[in-house]
Chains A and B, each alone.
Chain A
Amino acid sequence: MFGENGLTFLIITVLIGLGVLQGFAQDNPIVIGYERFHSGEPSFEGGRLLFNELGCVNCHDQPTGLPVRNGPVLNGILQRNQLDWVRAFLKNPNEKKPGTVMPDMLLWDREIEAVLHFLGSLESDGTPIVFKFVNAERGMALYHEFGCVACHAPNEQFSLPEGRPEQKDFTYPSVALPKLKEKYDIHSLSDFLYNVHKYRPQGRMPQFLLDKEDGGDIAAYLLNHQDGEGHNYPRIPKFSPDPALAEIGRVVVESHNCAACHDISTIKETVPQNYQLPAEFRNLEQFPRHPAYPLSKSQLLSLETYFYAKKNHPTVNANLHIQALNCMACHERDGIGGPDAARQRYFTGNRDLGDCGRIPPPLTGVENKLKPSWLRSVLQGKLKVRPYIETQMPVYGPSVIGLFEMLAGNSVPSITHGLQSANVEVGRKLLGTQGGYGCITCHDWGKRKSMGISGLDLSIIPDRLHLDWLHQYLRNPSAYRDHTLMPSFWPDGAASNKEILGGDTESQISSIYAFALSGEGAPEGFPDKNTKDFEIVPTDKPVVQRAFFEGVGTHALLVGFPEGIHLAFDGKSGQPAALWKGAFFDAYRTWFSRFPEFEKPLGDEVIRWPETELDTSAKYKGYRLDEAGIPEFILKLNGAEVFERFSPQGDPRGRVGFQRRIRYTNENQLEDPRLNHPKDIIKYEEVCEDPLERTFFYQW
């Protein structure tokens, strides 16, 4: 539009005018990809990135090959943003929003007022959600977990298990947030969070996949609202524009070419030729004025480098594209980028998987790794294969299509490996635990959970991965990710399992791929959790087994009797805790799983002792088995031992219950503070000859 001379003039204007005025202050427009990867040395690529990201290219015809970057849609802007804030922003964008890429349009106050009336005349559809309840504390957690802090600054109040990072560990600036309370109300801010691409279709802010309450909670956090009834929050007052002023504003907006960067529904393409401004605006006839950016020295030099290189249609590489979209806030590629040490701390997930369980994967070679269809879905935020990473892969708007095309176009997956030597059944074996590599020890398979840590789902390998990449990866997983927990089963290309397919690496890896591709069932060795395979059935003797037990705790001692009645005794407090009938328990979790979850009775008619304050005067000391294998628990009470035993006993009518026998060793213990009985139980005390012994009979 302005041609080269215009641009030169612009640069010189900015250089002489604003650059000096602002000094080389830190409040220059922040393009993270530039600050991180290009600010050291002025370069053509750095200049190109800025030229695109600052919107220069939107007016100046020197294509960058990078995705379009625009500002927000202006329709309805004053329904979403406070009038005073927009006014102040137009007056001095960088003061109101430090680091903004919106240039100062050098408008006069009277012009700004007219522009506001014009903006006020632009309506937008949609009614923001009114929240019944918002939870700012939860919002704060979500803000830090979802990955907002990959680009925006974390809150100093937010505590991390390992402590907050030090300031020095932040090696690049964050995208500053304005004082949001001055700009939004909770309804409009949450509406924005739910509909980022509606308001900024060509912006850089991605859309996070928010559940129903998430947006309101995050907005409440950002606005520092206390929890409470959402509809009581103040709303942006309705602004009634003056039609005459609005018309003047329209001219100002048109003449400044705001529509180059903003969607404005009613704007015309060009400035009306014969339009006469009202008298008080006459001195504004010198259109257009230039936008001004408070550029840093490095930014200026880079822009100059780019501009004077005069490469009109330079090819662009995927890396610059990725930097423009700031993918590198979360991902590393070719050894650079990814969150710095400070921001890494906010990436949470499954610690059992090490850093791979919380930090998004590298993008190194992603074009040769992922199949185009999968890559497209990932970029559109439709698929998530690493559910253990808390940070979300957000959805990017239309700007990501170019990246996809570029990556897919760059993709030159070699086809040195094929499936000719593959054997589907062998693949099933190799993935399994029955003589294979035991992949399912750590990896899920479709809906089946792995047997240990929940590594990513292997059943979708062929949907995601090029076969060649898999071949390359499996031969040396550490080459792809330094700290992967994934072992090398084919170190230096030699299969560690020689028994299958003669240890032929090529055929083994292809077979794994082929099996996943076949969709024929699961790898060998998934246990069936539901068949009670691990039920313990006491046959001739009682069985004593320690376990974690629901309602009893981690010190539970379970005693199962062949008579079909069973006891849970608390090996911490030294108290009986539960009785039940029927089947004893299924020890799957205790004996098989790496995660011994809490077991529960397999039978029914469960009777529990009332939960009482733990009496610390008694202490569990162990148990002895008698000739019949029945345990007698040893407790210590008032400095001396007490023995307690449960054994099955029939009543006169032939029903089986428990005899509970307590043997004291001195008279002081007879006032036994810990002695109590379950409710809902039939209880008899039997007469004992020994005065230090008490015997109860329980029936239920």
Chain B
Amino acid sequence: MVRLAVACILVSTGFVTADAIYDRFEILTANSKTASRAQNWKPSEGLVLEVSGMTWTSDNRLAVTIRKGEVWFINNVESDSLEDIEYQLFAQGLLDPLGILEDGDGFLVAQRTELTRLRDTNGDDVADEYLMEASGWNVSGSYHGYTYGPLRDGQGRLWITTNVDMGDLSDNNAAWRGWGLTIEPNGNLTGHAGGMRSPAGLGKNLEGDAFFVDQQGTWMAATPIHHLRSGVFYGNIEGLASQNLPESLLKISAEIPDGVFWQEALIQVPELVPPAVWLPYNKIGRSGTDIQVIDQDGAFGPFDGQLLIGEFSNVAVNRVFLEKVNDEYQGACFQFLNKFPSGVVRLAFGSDSSLYVGMTNRGWSSLGNRAYGLVRVRWNGVTPFEIKEMWAKPDGFELTFTQPVDPASASNLESYQMSNFTYNYQSSYGSEELRKESNRILEAEVSDDRKRVRLKIDGLRELYVHELHVNGVTNEKGEHLMHPEAYYTLNKIPVNNNK
């Protein structure tokens, strides 16, 4: 009787959490914040699963790199019984491996100083070849000189990204700090795009276009999601000296301003490109870490084709919807899953359509209280009530919803609030949200199938982030949206409805 009453209250207030829809299963999670930090922990003791890279292999297991410098295979990771899950050490002795990709009969792993090809040539399931696939970006020994990737995009190009040096020993004038590089089969590097700061995660969408997520900081107003391509500049000037290298496809043609609005900077510097999506600080997250497209044909819920973004500080996974306007990507971000036990660093789907979430807390601070771990997230088939997509229109936006909406609430203009803001392009850390203005909602037209709402909105501004709160819209059961906020980076207002 009591339980029933509680259930009624939950339903009547329209309160369903994502936890009820995406089941979590902790595969290997340090049961305290210590483990790898314990005073008496010895290197020989156990597996410290501080996940730093992940990929699903062609023989159906999860390959994981850990920060200690090892590669592990996890067999039967999709099992609901922890006893079935087996761990197999494949390679060791690496330095800060931050990504892994299956390639031919081996694996490519990005270490600090090189991209390494790992192969098992004698069939014992342990790597015995550690071949240098590529190197040549400078590694000064500064603490933040990381290498991320590799990612193979839809055109078959192999990408890595490099962090700028920070702290003592920094040498950002040396080769390729803060760059997106491709690696030819012979190991030669091409510097496609510069201006990255801490491009911690790479991913591609269903079309095979590559993206990366950078971090708020110097020259970075907030966390940006960028389309990775040739000849462009992403904003951070610290490693720009490498544009003078013969392998650079970027040559900046203008003086770079400091402390102007982003719009102004884009006019002054032709090579500078805006992010496809800004993730506003604190509202969405603080530190994006990885990009994983949802490519599960509906088996992970109704968001196929969208990107999931790992979030370290706020121990979360956020969601990004992209569309092309004027042939450039732009779109919106939404909160999606939160309250993971440790800083979310890597995401990968398994053949069971589960999302594997790899975590570590060491060295940076997150809201999590576990040192590290691996959590499996599986959709239980219930469709969450969410804003599914947000499309830019010449005179507003079109929202699609995952469930039919209650027409009365969805056509009520009061159900929506929108404002917009921009950022400064500046050398100092981050940026405030500036020039904030509110937008007037003029019209909200609900489609016949009640899954779309066309909003006509006054005061749209190009290159501003449009922040939408949909607090009033309910579904047919009177439930509110799980995440009523959306942040659309309106780089371009489309000219016509079909684009």
Residues of A near any B CB (own CB < 8 A): 161-163, 165-166, 169, 341, 344-345, 351-352, 354-355, 432-438, 441-442, 451-452, 478, 482-483, 485, 487, 489, 496-497, 499, 524-528, 533-537, 543-548, 553-555, 557, 571-572, 587, 590-598, 620-626, 631, 634
Bound together, the chains give a CA A626 to CA B282 distance in angstroms of: 51
Instruction: List the 10 closest pairs (A to B, CB-CB), nearest first.
Output: A594-B363, A162-B427, A622-B131, A546-B95, A354-B429, A595-B143, A554-B139, A544-B93, A434-B34, A435-B32
CB distance from A419 to the nearest CB of B (A): 24
**When the two chains form the complex, which single residue of A434, A442, A543 contacts B33, counting CB atoms closer than 8 Å?**
A434
Given contact pairs A352-B167, A528-B39, A546-B93, A554 touches B428 in the complex (Cβ within 8 A):
no
Report chain B residues within 8 Å CB of A595. Answer: 143, 167
- Residue in A closest to B219 when the chains form the complex, CB atoms: A162
In the bound complex, do residue A525 and residue B367 qualify as a contact, i.e. CB atoms below 8 Å apart? no
Contacts A438-B365, A554-B141 given; 15 further ones with Cβ under 8 A?
A351-B218, A352-B166, A437-B369, A438-B369, A442-B365, A452-B363, A485-B365, A534-B42, A535-B43, A548-B95, A571-B132, A590-B95, A593-B363, A620-B132, A621-B132
B111 within 8 A of A: yes
CB distance from A350 to the nearest CB of B (A): 8
Most buried by A among B39, B43, B117, B314: B43
In the bound complex, do residue A554 and residue B140 qualify as a contact, i.e. CB atoms below 8 Å apart? yes
B129 within 8 A of A: yes
B108 within 8 A of A: no
B362 within 8 A of A: yes
Bound together, the chains give a CA A452 to CA B360 distance in angstroms of: 14
Bound together, the chains give a CA A623 to CA B94 distance in angstroms of: 12
Q: Which of B62-117 contact A (CB under 8 A)?
A: 67-69, 92-96, 111-114, 116-117
A-B contact pairs, 13 of them (CB 8 A): A162-B258, A165-B259, A354-B430, A433-B37, A441-B361, A441-B364, A452-B364, A478-B282, A527-B37, A543-B93, A597-B141, A621-B132, A625-B130
Bound together, the chains give a CA A623 to CA B118 distance in angstroms of: 10
Q: Which of B294-336 contact A (CB under 8 A)?
A: 313-314
B366 within 8 A of A: yes
In the bound complex, do residue A441 and residue B365 qualify as a contact, i.e. CB atoms below 8 Å apart? yes
Bound together, the chains give a CA A489 to CA B366 distance in angstroms of: 9
Report chain B residues within 8 Å CB of A163. Answer: 258, 427
**When the two chains form the complex, which single residue of A345, A436, A537, A572 contacts B427, counting CB atoms closer than 8 Å?**
A345
Report chain A residues within 8 Å CB of B38. Answer: 434, 525, 527
Q: Which of B11-47 contact A (CB under 8 A)?
A: 32-34, 36-44
In the bound complex, do residue B113 and residue A596 qualify as a contact, i.e. CB atoms below 8 Å apart? no
In the bound complex, do residue A525 and residue B33 qualify as a contact, i.e. CB atoms below 8 Å apart? yes
Report chain B residues within 8 Å CB of A497. Answer: 369
Report chain B residues within 8 Å CB of A478. Answer: 282
Bound together, the chains give a CA A543 to CA B432 distance in angstroms of: 49
- Residue in A closest to B50 when the chains form the complex, CB atoms: A591
In the bound complex, do residue B95 and residue A596 qualify as a contact, i.e. CB atoms below 8 Å apart? yes
- Residue in B closest to A598 when the chains form the complex, CB atoms: B141
How many residue pairs bridge A and B at CB < 8 Å? 176
In the bound complex, do residue B129 and residue A624 qualify as a contact, i.e. CB atoms below 8 Å apart? yes
In the bound complex, do residue B432 and residue A482 qualify as a contact, i.e. CB atoms below 8 Å apart? yes
B237 within 8 A of A: yes
In the bound complex, do residue B166 and residue A351 qualify as a contact, i.e. CB atoms below 8 Å apart? yes
In the bound complex, do residue A354 and residue B95 qualify as a contact, i.e. CB atoms below 8 Å apart? no
Given contact pairs A352-B166, A354-B217, A598-B141, A555 touches B37 in the complex (Cβ within 8 A):
no
B371 within 8 A of A: yes
In the bound complex, do residue B167 and residue A487 qualify as a contact, i.e. CB atoms below 8 Å apart? no
**When the two chains form the complex, which single residue of A524, A543, A622 contacts B132, counting CB atoms closer than 8 Å?**
A622
B376 within 8 A of A: no
- Residue in A closest to B168 when the chains form the complex, CB atoms: A595
In the bound complex, do residue B112 and residue A355 qualify as a contact, i.e. CB atoms below 8 Å apart? no
CB distance from A413 to the nearest CB of B (A): 28
B286 within 8 A of A: yes
Report chain B residues within 8 Å CB of A631. Answer: 130
Report chain B residues within 8 Å CB of A496. Answer: 367, 369
- Residue in A closest to B94 when the chains form the complex, CB atoms: A546
- Residue in B closest to A586 when the chains form the complex, CB atoms: B43
CB distance from B370 to the nearest CB of A (A): 9
B128 within 8 A of A: yes
CB distance from A634 to the nearest CB of B (A): 7
- Residue in A closest to B97 when the chains form the complex, CB atoms: A546
**When the two chains form the complex, which single residue of B36, B141, B237 contacts A592, counting CB atoms closer than 8 Å?**
B36
**When the two chains form the complex, which single residue of A161, A546, A557, A634 contacts B131, counting CB atoms closer than 8 Å?**
A634
Report chain A residues within 8 Å CB of B143. Answer: 594-596
Report chain A residues within 8 Å CB of B132. Answer: 571, 620-622
CB distance from B333 to the nearest CB of A (A): 19
CB distance from B158 to the nearest CB of A (A): 17
Bound together, the chains give a CA A298 to CA B251 distance in angstroms of: 50
Bound together, the chains give a CA A535 to CA B43 distance in angstroms of: 8
CB distance from A455 to the nearest CB of B (A): 9
In the bound complex, do residue B113 and residue A433 qualify as a contact, i.e. CB atoms below 8 Å apart? no
Bound together, the chains give a CA A404 to CA B353 distance in angstroms of: 64
CB distance from B271 to the nearest CB of A (A): 18
In the bound complex, do residue A545 and residue B218 qualify as a contact, i.e. CB atoms below 8 Å apart? no
CB distance from B33 to the nearest CB of A (A): 5
CB distance from A338 to the nearest CB of B (A): 12
In the bound complex, do residue A436 and residue B369 qualify as a contact, i.e. CB atoms below 8 Å apart? yes
**When the two chains form the complex, which single residue of A545, A555, A597 contacts B93, counting CB atoms closer than 8 Å?**
A545
Bound together, the chains give a CA A544 to CA B40 distance in angstroms of: 23
**When the two chains form the complex, which single residue of B34, B129, B364, B369 contacts A525, counting CB atoms closer than 8 Å?**
B34
- Residue in A closest to B172 when the chains form the complex, CB atoms: A161
**When the two chains form the complex, which single residue of B40, B367, B428 contacts A487, counting CB atoms closer than 8 Å?**
B367
Bound together, the chains give a CA A244 to CA B258 distance in angstroms of: 62
In the bound complex, do residue A441 and residue B371 qualify as a contact, i.e. CB atoms below 8 Å apart? no
Given contact pairs A571-B113, A621-B132, A533 touches B42 in the complex (Cβ within 8 A):
yes
Bound together, the chains give a CA A208 to CA B224 distance in angstroms of: 41
- Residue in A closest to B122 when the chains form the complex, CB atoms: A627
- Residue in B closest to A631 when the chains form the complex, CB atoms: B130
